[in-house]
């Protein structure tokens, strides 16, 4: 199976196939509204506005698995994103990205690109690493999603070509997107 074979429920409860995005460059992101990385929504929206017309999509998957930083219903999350960041890219319903209830799409994404390591230059890197070392000492050896705002880049052919941890420099993310457009 490949990226286009999966589906997910959007915020309105409709099942949507990833084949809708065939021929586009796609960034899949697990998000949270109460996280130190939440300001990345601004940068994501800017990237979407710049590259959307060129066949680029962002798929937002809220996830409450990391310190309950995505509280609220799907509607509350969308309202927060609209009010605070003016998000216009696609919101999907809240999901699990790890564990037995992980969305199959995320199981697939993790199987294609494992943990890429944190950008040590990011001010939150040592905080996230410290928390993970206490709760999951083997976190570096697993492909699991480590925190909110992990991103997967899918090329126009449906291949998972990059994984960016939440500490990745957003200029690097932007550059990689440009390369695949």
Which position among 19, 35, 63, 81 bears the catalytic label? 35
- pLDDT for 160: 98
CA distances (Å), origin 95, targets 10, 82, 83, 91: 10, 19, 22, 11
Number of domains in the chain: 1
Q: Average the pLDDT over 78-100 and give the result.
A: 94
pTM for this predicted structure: 0.96
| 35 tagged catalytic | yes
Q: What CATH number does residue 86 fall under?
A: 3.40.30.10
Query: So what's the pLDDT on residue 42?
Result: 95
Q: State residue 119's pLDDT score.
A: 93
Average pLDDT estimate for 172-181? 97
* Residue 42 belongs to domain spanning: 3-180
Question: Residue 105 is encoded by which pair of tokens?
Answer: 């799409």
The answer to whether the CB of 38 falls within 8 A of the CB of 83 is no
Condensed to tens digits (0 to 9), the pLDDT of residues 34-60 reads 888 889 999 999 999 999 999 999 999
pLDDT, residue 37, reads 86
For 127-164, what is each residue's pLDDT tens digit? 999 989 998 889 999 999 999 999 999 999 999 999 99
């Amino acid at each position: 199976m490949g990226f286009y074979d999966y589906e997910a429920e959007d915020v309105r409860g409709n099942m949507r196939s990833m084949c809708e995005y065939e021929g586009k460059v796609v960034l899949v992101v697990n998000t949270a509204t109460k996280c130190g990385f939440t300001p990345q929504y601004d940068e994501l929206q800017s990237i979407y506005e710049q590259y959307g017309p060129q066949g680029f999509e962002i798929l937002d998957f809220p996830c409450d698995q990391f310190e309950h930083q995505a509280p609220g219903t799907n509607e509350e999350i969308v309202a927060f994103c609209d009010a605070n960041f003016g998000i216009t890219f696609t919101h999907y319903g809240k999901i699990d990205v790890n564990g037995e209830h992980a969305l199959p799409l995320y199981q697939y994404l993790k199987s294609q690109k494992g943990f890429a390591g944190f950008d040590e230059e990011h001010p939150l890197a040592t905080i996230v690493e410290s928390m993970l070392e206490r709760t999951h000492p083997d976190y570096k050896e697993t492909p699991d999603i480590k925190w909110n705002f992990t991103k997967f880049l899918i090329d126009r052919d449906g291949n998972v070509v990059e994984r960016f941890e939440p500490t990745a420099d957003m200029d690097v993310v932007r550059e990689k997107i440009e390369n695949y457009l």
